[in-house]
Amino acid sequence: MTPATVGAPGSARRSLHSLWLLSSRDLRVRYSTSALGYLWSVLDPLVMSGIYWFIFTQVFQRSVGEDPYIVFLITALLPWVWFNSAVTDFTKAFKKDARLVRSTSIPRSIWVTRIVLSKGIEFLFSIPVLILFAVFAGAQVSWGVLLFPVAVLLQSVLLVGLGLIVAPLCVMFGDLERTTRLILRALFYASPIIYGVGNLPGVFADLAAFNPLAGIFTLYRVGFFPDQWDAMTVSIGAVLSVGILGVGLWLFPRLERPVLKEL
C-alpha cells in the first residue's frame, strides 16, 4: 500500500493506519505461536469463573452475587482480563519496542492505544462465550444489554488514560512495573467481580463506587441482572474514567521527551 493511500505523514489517517497495523501485528504474533489460538482469549476467564463458581456454590454457602452465578462471574471476569492484560502490557509498552519508538515518526501515544485496541478485540472475540453461558444457564436478558457498548467505550477511555500515565512512568521508574502488578492483584479483590457493589456492607459500598471499574462492571452486568443497576456508581465511574483520560492527555506530552532520553 502506498503512502498516498494511507494519508500524508502526520495526518490522522496515517496515524489510524499505523495504529491498526501495530494492533493487528500484536494479534498475529500472539496467535501464530499458539496451538490453541483464539481459545487463549477465553480460557483464563473461564478457568477462573469455574474455580470461583465451584468454591462459592459447591464448597461454601454463597451469599454474594446473583443467579445464575456463573454468568454473574463471567460478565465481570471477561472485561477484567482485558483490563488486567492491557495494564500489564502498559508497563513495557515502550521498552519492548524501544528502537521503533525512537526511530519512527508516528505519535508515541499509539504504542499505548494499540494495546487497548488489540486487547479490546480479544475481549470482543470472547463475547460469544458469555452468550453461550447465558443461554445454557437460563439467564434473562433485560433492557440493560443496550448499555453493553457504553461499558466497552468507558473501559476503552479508562484504559487509554491509564496507559498514557503508566507507560511513560514505568520507563522512568523501573520499580513501577512490579508495583503495578501488585496493585492489580489487590484491585481484583477490590473490584466487584466475585461480588456486587450491593453486597458490600455500610461505607464500603460507597467507597467501592470510587473504583471506576465498579461502574463499568455494573454496565456489563445490568443486561442480565437489572438489580445490579446503581446510578451513583455508574456516574462516578464515568466521571473518573474521563478524568483519568484527561490527566493522561495532559501528562503524556510532558513525559515524552524524558522517556525518549531513557530509551
How far is 109 from 159, CA to CA, in rounded Å?
A: 12
How far is 81 from 93, CA to CA, in rounded Å?
A: 18
Mean pLDDT, rounded, of the chain: 85
pLDDT at 1 over 80: no
Are residues 140 and 103 in contact, defined by beta-carbon separation less than 8 angstroms? no
- Angle (CA) 131-137-139 rounded to 5° is 70
**How far, in whole angstroms, is CA 205 from its chain's centroid?**
22
What is the pLDDT, as a whole number, of residue 226?
93
Q: How confident is the model at residue 97 (pLDDT cuts 50, 70, 90)?
A: confident
What single DSSP character describes residue 38?
G
Look up residue 131 and give its three cell numbers.
452468550
Place of cell 509498552: 93
Tallying the residues shown for the chain, one arrives at: 263
More confident residue, 250 or 20: 250
**How far, in whole angstroms, is CA 130 from its chain's centroid?**
16
What is the pLDDT, as a whole number, of residue 257?
87
More confident residue, 1 or 179: 179
The amino acid at 248: G
How far is 152 from 126, CA to CA, in rounded Å?
A: 13
R_g over Cα of the chain: 19
Are residues 92 and 102 in contact, defined by beta-carbon separation less than 8 angstroms? no
More confident residue, 212 or 67: 212
How far is 45 from 220, CA to CA, in rounded Å?
A: 15
Per-residue exposure over 159-188, b if at least 16 CB sit within 10 Å of its own CB, e if not: bbbbbbbbbbbbbeeeeebeebeeebeebb
Q: How confident is the model at residue 108 (pLDDT cuts 50, 70, 90)?
A: confident
pLDDT at 3 over 50: no
How far is 57 from 59, CA to CA, in rounded Å?
A: 6
Question: pLDDT (tens digit, 9 = 90+) per residue, 11-61?
Answer: 566 667 667 676 676 666 666 665 555 676 677 777 877 888 888 777 777
How far is 49 from 42, CA to CA, in rounded Å?
A: 11
What single DSSP character describes residue 10?
T
Per-residue exposure over 213-241, b if at least 16 CB sit within 10 Å of its own CB, e if not: bbbbbbbbbbbbbeebbbeebbebbbebb
For residues 58, 60, 61, 63, the Cα torsion angle rounded to the nearest 10 degrees is -110
Low-confidence winner among 30-34, 61-65, 217-221, 240-244 (lowest mean pLDDT): 30-34
What is the pLDDT, as a whole number, of residue 4?
43
CA-wise closest residue to 41 among 79, 73, 72, 70 = 79
Average pLDDT over residues 171-180: 90
- Angle (CA) 220-225-227 rounded to 5° is 115
